[in-house]
Amino acid sequence: MEPYNKQKKITLISILSIFGIFLMNQIIFLLQRFKDTFPPKNSHEYSWRFGNIFYTKQGKGTPILLIHTLDSGSSSLEFCQLVKPLSKKHTVYVLDLLGCGRSEKPKISYTGYMYVQLINDFIKDIIGQKTDVIVSGNSCSFAIQACSMEKEQFHKLLLMNPQNMASASRFPTKCRNLLKYLLESPIIGTSIYNIMHSTPMIHHRFFKKYFQNPSDVQKSYMEEYYKNAHRGGTRAKYLYACQSGGYMNSSLVYALQNIDQSIYLAISQNIPDAQNTLEQYQVLNPSIEGCYLKHTLYLPHLENPQSLLDLCKIFF
């Protein structure tokens, strides 16, 4: 009877531990729901086929669409320093990509091509005319492909810190597919997601990766990033799982060679392979211009918005 009792205790402890982890994960998302704030007054919602898209519209003039970096915690907040100055001469549209910010976070497989479709559909259905685009980070590849597919909808593209060609074209492997399914699992996956998007981990990203100067990091940026990463409950993890699985990657060779629009690359001087990245894009499309941004890392539009605004005055 003694081995049986030991096995019974181990089973009971295991069940209680699993239930405790599950309950803790649910509480993390539930607490965030209570802390959520109301959207800004100039906000709108675009009913897209894969889910509702949150966006804001401000100003009058030629349209500019601002597209943030694709990340579970990212949102239109990235452009909070640029919207008001740009809106003096332009109609500024800023959206939260599907799976990010206040946009819907459906339980689906997120792919790069899906975001290409979203950008083209948004310009066609909401903006309705030829549009300038400012886009950041890994979302640059979506804008490039969208422009290649629907050239008549785009005017000029300003790309901030686009992915290096080598990293952008890494296709999913069996190991990365396995990682995706692990992250989508209800207990382990949600726990890993909450650890990777915990307050200490978010602080680490902002101070060590996103900003070069830690004194420029505002507490509100990190708080909003945390909120965005936990909006939508456990469904927020599916974008993270697909990114970890490499589902956003694609080759940009044909798209870049196929574009006739003016393209300008603004790359932070201190990020890895900055010079190599600019050269890769210019080899594929010699008409591409570019510059290096000093004293910034991956979020120059938050860390040094004036340098971007000066560039916008010349380019747009």
Q: Go through the domains of the chain in sequence order and give each one's CATH number.
A: 43-315 (3.40.50.1820)
Structure-block tokens of residue 30: 């539930």
Residue 100's pLDDT band (boundaries 50, 70, 90)? very high
Arithmetic mean of pLDDT, 138-166: 94
Note the pTM of the prediction, 2 decimals: 0.91
In sequence order, the 6+-apart residues with CB closer than 8 A to the CB of 208 are: none
Residue 266's pLDDT band (boundaries 50, 70, 90)? very high
Please classify residue 225 by burial: count the beta carbons closer than 10 Å to its beta carbon, then call 0-12 exposed, 13-18 middle and 19+ buried. Answer: buried
Contact assessment for residue 218 and residue 145, using Cβ atoms and an 8 Å cutoff: no
Q: What percent of the chain has pLDDT over 90?
A: 71
pLDDT over 60 at 8, yes or no: no
pLDDT over 90 at 3, yes or no: no
Alpha-helical (H) ranges within 123-185 are 140-149, 165-168, 174-184
In sequence order, the 6+-apart residues with CB closer than 8 A to the CB of 127 are: 63, 65, 93
| Average pLDDT for the chain | 89
Residue 14's pLDDT band (boundaries 50, 70, 90)? low
CA 199 to chain centre: 18
Residue 105's pLDDT band (boundaries 50, 70, 90)? very high
